[in-house]
A and B are shown apart, each in its own frame.
Chain A
Amino acid sequence: MRQIATLARYSALELARSWWTACYCLFFMVLAFAFFAFGEEPAQAVVSVLNVVLLVVPFVSIVMGVLSFYTAREFAELLLAQPVGRLTVFFGQYMGTAASLALAFAIGLGIPFVWYGWNAREQSGTLVALLFGGILLTFIFVALAFALAVRTENRLKALGAAIFLWLFFALVYDGLILAVIVAFSSFPLEKVLLGLIILNPLDLARILILLRLDVAALMGYTGALFRQFFGSPLGIVAASACLTVWMALAVAVGASTYVRRDF
């Protein structure tokens, strides 16, 4: 545990000093200030920020995760020649990368939230849910990035697969769900659709935040179904649990390859 913490701390320190991380933090700060300053209602601003978070956080996390894995690839050889287990090196690098991106996101969004939060205290729970959802997405998509990158020596191949995966979850998946609904409209599809929602972390994160916001009109069919099945409070717990399982599975896939491969 001490070694994982040491590895994570230095890995995070390296990424925290990168310009890209600073830009990422600044992007969310400017975005949130703009939406809060120019939006009419705090709830409206939160929904606008949510849509950007659901697209940008997974994209940046999966791309930065892949790039960071390959940048640290040769350094990992040196780390693995130390009296340290392979799993320790993997978890340390993963935690450091994910934590620094999550921190940049949380600071970028947190400062405008705190600034405007005093005027919109009734929204504070939603703001926390948005931060929580964004942080969970960061950890999931960095884990997916590591799981992809550890399987191939070819950086471009891994980057291509990462962008495809993001496109699939962010854009293609909802189209597939719509196709299933249309194609099997005469069958009872509730449980099938519930299963399909669980298979997309982006949908889960969106539902998690919207259940807290309790805006039925924005939930869409799948969100409404999720709320109908679980109810709002249990739905939040169920979505969080599913997201945690996603993270654990992605980390497990990456780690199991990492311990077996040659360097």
Chain B
Amino acid sequence: MVEVANVKKRFGSVSALNGITVTIRRGQITSVVGPNAAGKSTFLKCLVGLVRPDSGEIRVGGHDVNRDWRWRRLVGYVPQAVHFPENLSPRELFAFFRKLRGTPGADGRELIELLNLEASLDRPVRQLSGGTRQKVNIALAAMFDPEILIMDEPTVGLDPLTSQRQKRWLERERARDKTIILASHVIAEVEELSDRVIFLLEGRVYFDGAPREAIQMTGQPTLERAIAAMMEQGS
């Protein structure tokens, strides 16, 4: 479980998070959506301790995220963009993270097959396409079987087949009682996968509920239109 209580964060004169309070439950896929600069990435970064809130409290699996770092063994994080060391291969990166996390048994074989990464394992990262780098990004977050997955735009750059495989895999992980938190701009994907949607606008929670509740509340036929309607109302 992830508990966020009245979290505020400013960057200079810009208020990125303006009193966010949410509780994210296990066994669900929770999507964080909103327009550009709504605070989605800042919110996810706060959850993993990369950004320190000015005030408020965040507890992940019962641990205060800004007190310690050992709780991060519970978490797999997929950042929006990652610039891997160009001269290392994915196989070396996987070995590096295994050593860093002290989990030599996690070979990530299932994910490597699922994401079709076998052919790229020994090529230096500089020779890999953007999509393949994103697959490596996802595999690195998920190969340690974390209880909580936090993913920022996880399907960006993926081909339709891999994107579909990833969605089915996320559904299986949800069935295994994992806590899955996604930030995404692809609302069709959010509608397909999510049990719950948190809509952020100007650093505040504007809507928090199931996708069908958003549709019912706005009287729109799809979640995409419902989100667009909420954006119009809020602006």
Interface residues of A (CB under 8 A from B): 2-3, 6-7, 10-11, 13-14, 17-18, 71-75, 77-86, 260, 262-263
* A18 in complex: contacting residue of B87, B96, B137, CB < 8 Å: B87
Residue among A72, A83, A86 having the largest count of chain B Cβ atoms under 10 Å: A83
Contact B51 A74, beta carbon cutoff 8 Å:
no
Closest residue of chain B to A3 (Cβ to Cβ) is B100
* B83 in complex: contacting residue of A2, A75, A81, A260, CB < 8 Å: A75
- B99 / chain A contacts, CB cutoff of 8 Å: 6
* A262 in complex: contacting residue of B52, B71, B100, B137, CB < 8 Å: B52
Which chain B residues numbered 47 to 64 have a C-beta less than 8 Å away from chain A?
Answer: 48-52
B82 to chain A, nearest CB (A): 5
Contact B101 A82, beta carbon cutoff 8 Å:
yes
Bound complex: CA of A81 vs CA of B82, how far in Å? Answer: 12
| Per-residue A-contact encoding for B1-29, CB less than 8 Å = 1, 0 else | 00000000001000000000000000000
* B79 in complex: contacting residue of A2, A17, A74, A84, CB < 8 Å: A74
> Given contacts A75-B82, A262-B51, is CB(A84)–CB(B77) below 8 Å?
no
Bound complex: CA of A72 vs CA of B83, how far in Å? Answer: 7
Closest residue of chain A to B85 (Cβ to Cβ) is A14
> Given contacts A3-B100, A14-B86, A74-B83, is CB(A81)–CB(B51) below 8 Å?
no
Give the 5 A-B CB pairs with smallest separation, nearest first.
A17-B87, A81-B77, A14-B85, A74-B83, A263-B50
Interface residues of B (CB under 8 A from A): 11, 45, 48-52, 69-73, 75, 77, 79, 81-88, 92, 96-97, 99-102, 124, 137, 140
* A84 in complex: contacting residue of B69, B87, B124, CB < 8 Å: B69
Bound complex: CA of A29 vs CA of B37, how far in Å? Answer: 51
Contact A81 B48, beta carbon cutoff 8 Å:
yes
Q: List 11 A-B contacts (CB under 8 A).
A: A6-B99, A13-B87, A17-B87, A74-B79, A78-B77, A78-B79, A78-B137, A80-B50, A81-B49, A81-B72, A82-B97
Bound complex: CA of A84 vs CA of B49, how far in Å? Answer: 11
Bound complex: CA of A77 vs CA of B99, how far in Å? Answer: 18
Q: A72-B83, A77-B82, A81-B75 are in contact. List 9 more A-B contacts (CB 8 A).
A: A2-B102, A10-B88, A74-B83, A75-B85, A78-B82, A83-B71, A84-B72, A84-B100, A262-B51
> Given contacts A6-B96, A74-B81, is CB(A13)–CB(B48) below 8 Å?
no
- A82 / chain B contacts, CB cutoff of 8 Å: 72, 97, 100-101
Bound complex: CA of A82 vs CA of B72, how far in Å? Answer: 6
A interface secondary structure, majority: helix
Contact B86 A262, beta carbon cutoff 8 Å:
no
A72 to chain B, nearest CB (A): 7
Contact B101 A10, beta carbon cutoff 8 Å:
no
> Given contacts A10-B96, A263-B51, is CB(A72)–CB(B85) below 8 Å?
yes
A95 to chain B, nearest CB (A): 14
Closest residue of chain A to B95 (Cβ to Cβ) is A10
Contact B83 A14, beta carbon cutoff 8 Å:
no
B14 to chain A, nearest CB (A): 13
B45 to chain A, nearest CB (A): 7
> Given contacts A71-B83, A83-B73, is CB(A77)–CB(B50) below 8 Å?
yes
- B100 / chain A contacts, CB cutoff of 8 Å: 3, 6-7, 79, 82, 84
B87 to chain A, nearest CB (A): 4
Closest residue of chain B to A7 (Cβ to Cβ) is B100
A70 to chain B, nearest CB (A): 9
- B101 / chain A contacts, CB cutoff of 8 Å: 82-83
- A73 / chain B contacts, CB cutoff of 8 Å: 83
Bound complex: CA of A82 vs CA of B106, how far in Å? Answer: 15
B64 to chain A, nearest CB (A): 15
- A18 / chain B contacts, CB cutoff of 8 Å: 87
Closest residue of chain B to A77 (Cβ to Cβ) is B79
- A77 / chain B contacts, CB cutoff of 8 Å: 45, 50, 79, 82
- A3 / chain B contacts, CB cutoff of 8 Å: 100
- B96 / chain A contacts, CB cutoff of 8 Å: 6, 10
Closest residue of chain A to B81 (Cβ to Cβ) is A74
Closest residue of chain A to B74 (Cβ to Cβ) is A83
B49 to chain A, nearest CB (A): 7
- A86 / chain B contacts, CB cutoff of 8 Å: 69
Contact B70 A83, beta carbon cutoff 8 Å:
yes
Contact A14 B88, beta carbon cutoff 8 Å:
yes
* B49 in complex: contacting residue of A7, A74, A79, A80, CB < 8 Å: A80
Contact B85 A74, beta carbon cutoff 8 Å:
no
Closest residue of chain A to B83 (Cβ to Cβ) is A74
